[in-house]
Amino acid sequence: MGKLRVGFIGAGRIADLHALGYRDPSTGSLAGQAGQAADAELYAVCDADRQVAEDRAREWGASRTFTDYREMLADPKLDAVEVLTPHRFHEEMAVAALEADKHVSLQKPMAVSLEEADAIVAAARRSDRVFRVFENFRYYPPYVRAKELLDEGAIGQPMSLRVKVIGGNPRHGWRVPAGAWAWRLSEEECGGGPMIFDHGYHIFSIVRYFLGDVESVFAWIERVEVGPGLALDSPAVIVWRHAGGPRFGSWETVTSPELMVRSKYYPNDEWLELTGTRGLIWVNRCSGEMLAGPPLVVYRDGEAQAIHDVESDWAAGFVRATRAFVRAVREGGQPELSAEEGREVLRFSLAAHRSAREGRSVALAEMG
C-alpha cells in the first residue's frame, strides 16, 4: 500500500503527542518541526472550531480540514482516524468510522458505559479494519522493560502491585485552556472524574498488563465539588484481588493543590512497585519527572540494580503506540488495546466506581 493517510477527529492538547508518531523519525527528536514519516501522514484534521482545525493542520502539515467528522469520513482518500474527543462522543464516532471502512485508533477511555463499549466491540468484529483503544502506558518504555523483566522471572513469581498517582497545581506543566480542561470535571462529558475515570483508565490498563485479570475490587473515591456540575474524584484508594491469586494490588491517588509537579505535560506523576517472591521492580516516573533517580530499579538477591538506558520521556509511549498502529494497518496484527481488552479495562474501572458508591467489594462478574 502507499502512504497511510490518517485524520484526527479532535485537535486538543493531547493531539500534540499523537502527532509525533507521524513525523520523520530520522530527526531523532520527539519535539519540534519535522517532516512526515515515510509510511504514514497526518492527512486531515477535524475540530468543531474551524480556526483550531486550520491552525493545527498548518502546524502539523495536514492538507485537509473539517468541522464535521462525518464529512471527513466520507473522504475516499482517508484510510484511518484517531478519535481524540471527549469521552461521550467515543461510541458514536468509533462506530461511524468503522462502518465507513476506516481503521480506528480510539483515545481512552473506550466509552462511558459497558453498553457503549459493547456497541464498539460489535462494530469492530463486523469490520475488517484495524481497531484499537489507544493506550500509551502499555508502550511507555520503562513499563515495557519492567514487564519483560517480570516475564523473565527477574523477581520470581509476582505477588503484588502498588501504584501511586499524584496531581499538582495546574499552573505548572502544560498550558491547557480552562474550557478545554473543564469537561473532564463534568461527569456528563467525561463519564466520571478526571483522576479515576479519565487518567485512571491508564492505571486499570497497566494493572491488567502486569498481573492479568482482576476478580474483585474495593474503592474509596472522594468527590469534591469544584464548581456547578464539576467535581474532582480525589483523593482515592482502590484495592483489588487478581484472578488465580493470591495476588493483590492497590492504587492511591492524591491531588495536592499547592504542589509543583515537575512535568513537561500534565501536572501529574506516577510510581509503580511490583513485588515478587524473589525481589522487587520500581518504575519511578511516567507522565512527570519528580524523581531525579533512574526510571527503573530492580532489587533481587540483596542487590539493587539501577536501569538508566531506557527512554523515560512520557511522549515516547505515544510515539511507540502510534507506530504500532501504523504497522498493524500496513502489515497486520492487533496493537494494544483490542476492543475486547478495552472493554475489560473499562469493566474494572466501572466496578471500582460501583464499589465506592455502594461501600462494598464488587466482583467484576457482577458488571456483565
Domains recognised in the chain with CATH numbers: 4-137+318-338 (3.40.50.720), 138-311+347-362 (3.30.360.10)
- Report pLDDT digits (tens) over 242-282: 999 899 999 999 999 889 999 988 888 999 999 999 999 99
Q: Which amino acid would we find at residue 286?
A: C
| pLDDT exceeds 90 at position 74 | yes
Tens digits of residue pLDDT in 170-206: 777 777 666 666 666 667 676 677 889 999 999 999 9
The grid cell for 137 is 502506558
- Single pTM value for the model: 0.93
User: 35-39, 137-141, 208-212: which has the minimum mean pLDDT?
Assistant: 35-39
Residue 34 has pLDDT above 60, yes or no: no
Q: Which residues have C-beta within 8 Å of that of residue 363, sequence separation ≥ 6?
A: 215, 216, 351
Can you name the residues that pair with 275 across neighbouring β-strands?
A: 160, 280
Question: CA nearest 209: which of 331, 321, 121, 319?
Answer: 321
**62-83: b or e for each residue (b if 16 or more CB lie within 10 Å)?**
bebbbeebeebbebeebbbbbb
